Structure 1
């Protein structure tokens, strides 16, 4: 009996001890949880994943990255966030951006299919450089000098001059005995939507597809030049006439192709920007299209619009192409460059979305940063793919209230 009594007392003491331990641990755990919640509340921690610890005290740069302050938007302006591609449709060679009196930005692209038919030089428009829509075509009827059995109208440049809108474009010529396969034509209208009147003949023509990809550059004194080139031939430039309908003088070779260098199997799609008395020539190299596409944008610089131009690798072997492939996008290239209404430069171009090849060469946009006198996009990591909150700044659309 005595033994059983002691056993009962021992069990009771053990139970009471366990209860005390459990109560203490529970209280301590609640205090820890309360402290953690108070800490988070005091710091107003945002965007922390459920399984991610808050180590901001140990890593002071973490919160700085999360709290990037966007530039102030001027009154009457809008900032438009974006995520590439910004136009999920085939829109190759988006060269030439103008803003018309109706408040829209316009571009013209290489021929593409819309609504079941081939549109010859499609016209796209946007009010914010991000949201684009198809609104028409430049050449519903082909001019007589173009091949009608094998339609190829490519790589246009839309420019405004003295109140008129000019589209310079590449086209495959009719069969001839002069070994002239491609030329550059021009069509003119009073509005970017047209209707356009074509000159009826090319302003320059040549063998193979060496005479394509026109771009018009205007110097500070009003002198205008047309640049073009492809097919493993040099990039050329020549003075444009005042009326914009012909070329003057002789063509000048401004950039040679060196096939042994990266992205120089061929060079094409020239675009020139003047900045701080320097002329930056943006060109796209290698294969633009199809299964083996490996396009990229590279840059050269000069003290004159007519060269000589120094390529990026000649200046520093560690320089990278401005845009090249990454895990999300392939073959970025053939660009335009525009400065938004807050003074920020943007590059508009095409690329293949690896996960959506059905879109073709979709329309893309990215910010250009100038670092030590050299353009940089996405820190050299190719096209951006995530949401970019710091998008172009443009004028607010005019009210549609009647």
Structure 2
């Protein structure tokens, strides 16, 4: 079963890679500073990274079911957002049972149906082939029970034809009560979308399923969505590549749910806008309120994170010219929409001055952006305050301008599905502080975090003391302050996490291999580690110590490699910071593979960003590999063969950089999910071979990111032959 799963997942990644390469992986958009109207209500709707939204209204509450993004190839917790006023959205991690034999990791593109007072949840998963699974509950938020106890899919891989990946299912209930499903991804490879009827008696199997030929949905990729306008069936879908600015929404129409479909006018009806403030919009659903229609979709974050899987949910008005024609949507960062038309509690912190212990300045290729403190008071889910480093404590202080009654504080942290530990204090003069709420031992995730009290204060200070996951920053989308208590739509609360708080960086040099101290030999047996982890490295296969023509003593790799007898420490897990610095000389560099060092377990998750390794080759993962070309980093200028080079790979929890001989060569914004369980330090190869075939004079690894000045100093100190 595991082998079959790995084969399916390899296929998934290869297909995604091919799609990306066809669309031009290296195409990026210049990211300039974008001013935001300080008092406007702004898209995105949700404070966090979520994608593939399905919006529903059950009773007087709106629900958004979505893929949890920015975690292991968009494989975060199964969550739902709910709201009555479209202003304050509440996040809840749903109780969705795992599979019988393996954990539930993928929760992709969910959809939900209400039928006879019960709720049926469907989502895609690629752990045992790419299938659609079904669950049922008496409430829209669970707890959920499997429709099939034996883990049988509702829509299986290879259905309705061989090789067809069953993902991105959306269901449509017609006016006669029949329920139709539409599904498929990478359809430009797989001959178009699929359509079938959901068995209304069981709600867990499909019947009369057919293919919708590609010619009926031109330029299609994934994310089919069916709706009805008058007597016309409108099949909407996403085209191009979800990883870049080409992603868009299109549609076709027909007289029956099965087609044949005619491509609609004005296609694509939703695409990247001219100033690229709405970048790569797609994979949507539609909300109808009376005669009004709203398209709810995701777009890329700003500044855009590498790979395009840090997406955010937005809403815009969608207008029909007639029953078979949709106008092009004008996507906006402004132009807030509130179909609920409910009264919104007054946020005392809106646009108030804010200061912080630090703020991250992202300065790099076409990017100059500061995550400044005031971005936490602008009521804008596109912007956030982020501290300058992922070390704690970090604090944020808001000045209300005058003493006010404060009864409730909402804190929307960057990652809603992980817990943050924090303390809220209040003061009248900014000098003498009292505790409003002490959550320094908190282990409950959620957004917003809600803290109630009843005090008078001019200043509110948030001090973040820790996080659940290694390497996460103190970062807040919005901090909202209220002078009254008000209704929360549902009386539900997230469960406490079983995970302890993250282990912070100790600012140490963990590994230090100095070959200059070794004796020339046909093959080393062990080499002592001079770093704080201690222990030693042993050779697997032959790893000789040789001298080159300049008299530099170095390890010569080929078929052998070194492994450490010390486990990979916890501070390197997840999004933990690091630096790997090494002196190398490779006689041949114009090839792939060639791994200098790895420290993650590639087989633990096999999802993008869960694997980290440093390379020296000419491929797309030439400098750093993360299991997927969408996230890997190449050398911009490949270091010359048969010359000594000082190569340094750094990651500070935000940006990954590769330096060549003290000069920054490439960089990219990243979020990692490093899998270190049962991982080991490997020097001269990866956990799947990929052997390095050159010389290595030294190697150091740190549990923090060195800055350029320190890198240049290290280069001089460790230069071979000195």
| Superposed counterparts of 1:321-400, under 5 Å | 321-326=268-273, 327-340=276-289, 342-355=290-303, 357=305, 360-373=310-323, 374-378=325-329, 381=330, 383-388=331-336, 391-394=338-341, 400=487
Mapped pair 1:300 → 2:252: yes
SS class of match (1:329): coil
SS class of match (2:53): coil
Structure 1 gaps of 5+ residues are 1-80, 175-180
Query: Is the alpha carbon distance of 1:283 and 1:130 closer, same or farther for their aligned partners in structure 2, counting shifts above 3 Å?
Result: farther
The structure, 1 or 2, with the larger RCO (C-alpha pairs under 8 Å, 6+ apart) is 1
| Superposed counterparts of 1:182-221, under 5 Å | 182-199=130-147, 200-207=151-158, 210-221=165-176
- In structure 1, how many angstroms separate the alpha carbons of the residues matched to 2:130 and 2:48? 26
Mapped pair 1:236 → 2:190: no
Contact 2:238–2:283 (Cα < 8 Å) also in 1: yes
Contact 1:218–1:225 (Cα < 8 Å) also in 2: yes
Query: Is the alpha carbon distance of 1:255 and 1:91 closer, same or farther for their aligned partners in structure 2, counting shifts above 3 Å?
Result: farther
The Cα shift of 1:129 comes to 3.7
Contact 1:229–1:269 (Cα < 8 Å) also in 2: yes
In structure 1, the partner of 2:99 is 143
TM-score, normalising length: structure 1: 0.65
The Cα shift of 1:344 comes to 1.1
- In structure 2, how many angstroms separate the alpha carbons of the residues matched to 1:185 and 1:361? 24
Structure 2 gaps of 5+ residues are 1-39, 345-485, 489-722
In structure 1, the partner of 2:417 is none
In structure 1, the partner of 2:44 is 85
Task: Indicate which of 281, 305, 315 corresponds to 2:235.
Answer: 281
- In structure 1, how many angstroms separate the alpha carbons of the residues matched to 2:107 and 2:132? 9
Higher helix proportion? 1
Mapped pair 1:161 → 2:118: no
Structure 1 window deviating more from structure 2 (88-97 vs 118-127): it is 118-127
In structure 2, the partner of 1:108 is 65
Contact 1:278–1:301 (Cα < 8 Å) also in 2: yes
- In structure 1, how many angstroms separate the alpha carbons of the residues matched to 2:263 and 2:66? 27
In structure 1, the partner of 2:261 is 309
Q: How many residues align?
A: 291
Q: 1:296-316 CA distances to partner (integer Å, 9 max, x unpaired)?
A: 00010101111111112xxx5
In structure 2, the partner of 1:18 is none
In structure 1, the partner of 2:462 is none
The Cα shift of 1:247 comes to 2.8
Q: 1:63-107 CA distances to partner (integer Å, 9 max, x unpaired)?
A: xxxxxxxxxxxxxxxxxx84211213111100241324xx32112
Q: 1:369-401 CA distances to partner (integer Å, 9 max, x unpaired)?
A: 1124422254xx4x212234x64245669x849
- In structure 2, how many angstroms separate the alpha carbons of the residues matched to 1:120 and 1:170? 13
The Cα shift of 1:210 comes to 2.2
Query: Is the alpha carbon distance of 1:125 and 1:167 closer, same or farther for their aligned partners in structure 2, counting shifts above 3 Å?
Result: same
Query: Is the alpha carbon distance of 1:248 and 1:205 closer, same or farther for their aligned partners in structure 2, counting shifts above 3 Å?
Result: closer
In structure 1, the partner of 2:366 is none
Contact 2:268–2:328 (Cα < 8 Å) also in 1: no
Q: 1:212-245 CA distances to partner (integer Å, 9 max, x unpaired)?
A: 1111111111111111111222111111111353
Mapped pair 1:132 → 2:89: yes
Q: 1:25-74 CA distances to partner (integer Å, 9 max, x unpaired)?
A: xxxxxxxxxxxxxxxxxxxxxxxxxxxxxxxxxxxxxxxxxxxxxxxxxx
